[in-house]
Every structure is written in structure tokens, then in C-alpha cells.
Amino acid sequence: MLDLDQRKSLGEFIRAHREKLVTERGGRRRTPGLRREELAERAGISATWCAWIEQGRQVQASQDALARLAKALELTRAERAYLFELAARRDPDDEAGTPMDDAPASLLAAVTAVQHPAYGLDRYWNACCWNSAAVTLFPGWLDEDQVEKNLLRYVFLDPSAQERIVDWQVRALRLLGEFRADYSHALRDPAIRSLVETLRAESPLFDQGWQEQMVLDREGGEREFLLPGRGILKFRQFNFRPTDRPDCKLVFLIPQ
């Protein structure tokens, strides 16, 4: 249940964006934008409900009603996310998940522009792009003949990852906690659920970590890898999310 300040912020946000909309009907109007009745008609909700939520009253705002309201208000992606955040609801579009198969151009450009290891991850934590330096660092994961390029499967199931990643168990559990933060936004995605079930069945460490319910932000920091003939290589990892595809991640590993 939202407190008074939250309800007030939500109502003010909706009203401000309603007043920004240009009406299709001609003639001069006393108030800017759409009337509440017009917005309600667009969104398929009652005018009374629309008035109450703008006034900060205690009303039930379902995910579906908020989604229709966001569409009627013509909100941008960022504005829509903010609306659901204010309402303390999960956006059903985020849960449904309609991922694109191809890596976004912004990730491809960034990855190929640097000489140090860099790669992009999609919403399933599959590598969607990478450079040659990343292949050298992760041969069991990013090899050309490697069909399965899921980072979680590589870290938890590939024996070479245990040999290559310094403090493997600590790093693996950290990775799981970061993945779980993403998982909360895709609870209805059958592919994500299938990935988790497979990893829990095949990796005792993943299953143990999953039961511990650890959730972590994806942070950068120092990373160490053991390469045959070269010893331990130290990197600082930087993580980014492209604004045009927030379901993806961009990772840079800069030598120390």
C-alpha cells in the first residue's frame, strides 16, 4: 500500500503528463492537454478512478490499468518505468520479455572499438557480441565453435572456468547474486525459469547459492584470471547498460 507522499507523487506525475498531451479536437480550451474524461476513455478506465489517482487517494492500481494508462499518456520507456516505480508495481512488459536476437548496434560498436577484452550480454546472459581479446581470455566460452555461450553455464558448468577464474567459487556466487537481481524482472519468462532449473540440477554450487536468496547489484571491480604460460592477469571490470537496450549489458575488462 502506498503512503501519502507516494500517492501524491504518482498523481502529480499522471496529471502533468495528461496536461502535456495535445487533444485531437479543435478549439480553444481553458485547461491544457486532455481532460480526465478523455484520458479515461483512451485508457479504458473510469473517469472517477482517474480523478482519484490524480488526487492522491488510496485506489487499487493494477498492472494492466497502469499499462493502459502509460499507453494513453504516450509515455517514453523511461517515463513508463518511472510510473510503475511510483506505483510500486511491476511492468508486465518487463515480465513478458520480448528479447531481440541480434546484438544492438551500440554494443557492437563499443565492443569492437576497444583492444581490451569486452563483451555484451543479452537478457538471458548469453554473449551477444565480443571481441578477439575476450576470446583469448575466455576460450571455453567464446570460441567460434562454441554453440552455448551462456555466461552462467560457462562459469558454473565448464571445468575450464574453475581453472581460469581466480577465487572461482566466490566469483561464481557473486555472479549468481547479480543474475538474481535480473531474474526478479523476468519471473514469467519460461526461458529464464528453464535456465535456472537446469543450472540448479547440474551445479550443486548454483543450487546452494540459489537457496541462499542472495541478490546483488552488478558491480565492477578487480578480476583475476589464470592463463597458461602467462600466469595471473589482473583486470578492472566496468559494467554498463546501453540506453537503447536496457535488457543488455556491456562489460569492459581493463588490464591493471
> Last residue of some domain: 44, 72, 96?
96
Check whether residue 14 and residue 110 sit in a common domain.
Answer: no
SS3 225: strand
pLDDT at 105 (0 to 100): 80
Same structural domain for residues 92 and 131? no
188 and 112 housed in the same domain: yes
The pLDDT profile of the chain, 256 residues, written as one tens digit per residue, is: 788 888 999 999 999 999 988 765 455 566 678 999 999 999 999 999 999 999 999 988 888 999 999 999 999 877 888 898 888 888 877 654 444 456 778 788 889 999 999 999 998 999 999 999 999 999 889 988 888 899 999 999 999 999 999 999 999 999 999 999 888 777 778 899 999 999 999 999 999 999 998 888 878 899 999 999 999 999 999 999 887 777 889 999 999 9
| Residue 213 and residue 173 share a domain | yes
Residue 121 sits in the same domain as residue 216: yes
CATH number of the domain that 19 lies in? 1.10.260.40
Domain C-terminal end among 96, 126, 146: 96
> Are 53 and 10 spatial neighbours (Cβ–Cβ below 8 Å)?
yes
Measured CA to CA, the distance from residue 242 to residue 145 in angstroms comes to 28
State the pLDDT at residue 97.
44
Q: Which domain holds residue 20?
A: 4-96
Map 139-180 to HEC letters: HHHHCCCCCCCEHHHHHHHCHHHHHHECCHHHHHHHHHHHHH
Count: domains in the chain: 2
State how far the Cα of 11 lies from the Cα of 9, in Å rounded to an integer.
5
Closest CA to 242 of 127, 113, 108, 117: 108
Q: Are 195 and 175 in contact (CB under 8 A)?
A: no
Choose the final residue of a domain: 70, 96, 122: 96
